[in-house]
Every structure is written in C-alpha cells, then in structure tokens.
Amino acid sequence: MVLARGEELRARHVLSRQIGALKARDNLEVELVEAGRVSAGLVASLIRMEDRAQLARRKQDELVRRKRTAENGPNPADTVSAIRIRPAEATRGHAFDGYAEAVSALEQEASRAGREETEGGGR
C-alpha cells in the first residue's frame, strides 16, 4: 500500500506539472498573437515615419534650392522683363522668337551657374 500511495503522489505531481505546462503554453500562444499585432503596428508606424522623414528631406532640399536660387540666381524681375513679348514683335509674327531666345539665355545662364557651383564645391 505504501508503494501504491507513492506512485499516486508521483502521478499527481506529474499531472500537476502537465497541467501547468499546458496553461503556460496557452498563455504563450496568447502573448505570441499579441506580440504579432504589436509588431505589425510598429512596422506600420515605422513606414509612416520614414515617409514623413523623406517628405521633410524633400521640403528641406526644395527650400535650400530656392534659397540658393534667390541668393545666386537672376533677379525674377529681370527674368520677367527678358521674356516679355513686345507689341512690335507680336504684330510681325515673331512673338515667340524673343521668348525662345530669352528662355535659351536663361537656361545657359543656369547651366553655367550649375557648372560653377559643382566646380567650386557648392556653397
């Protein structure tokens, strides 16, 4: 009878451990699902943050470009007056010749400025 009682205690102990292991497994499965949700949320947040950072970089680059153009580029008033069509040209049918020449001159000037900037190492 002592032997049977010892085996019964051992069986109860083993059964208790199995029940504990099953409960722990169930808890871990729930935690795994929750961790997956959290991870997916973090990935989505990271993507949004990267998009925002890239947008901010683009805005910064645009502002830097505009600042450099304002500091180094031609005066906007000069640009407008250079491409303004004169009435005499419009009546002769050469209305866009002056415009095309002015645009070409501006493009050459911008190209020269770009080469000078790259040769000079930028500002």
Task: Write out pLDDT tens, residues 5-14.
Answer: 788 888 999 9
Residue 64 CA to residue 113 CA, distance in Å, equals: 16
Instruction: State the average pLDDT for the chain.
Output: 78
Buried residues in 68-99 as b, exposed as e (16+ CB within 10 A): eeeeebeeeeebeebbeeeeeeeeeeeeeebe
Q: pLDDT: is 80 or 11 the higher one?
A: 11
Mean pLDDT of 78-92: 54
pTM: 0.41
Q: Where are the domains of the chain?
A: 1-72, 74-123
Task: Write out pLDDT tens, residues 12-30.
Answer: 999 999 999 999 999 999 9
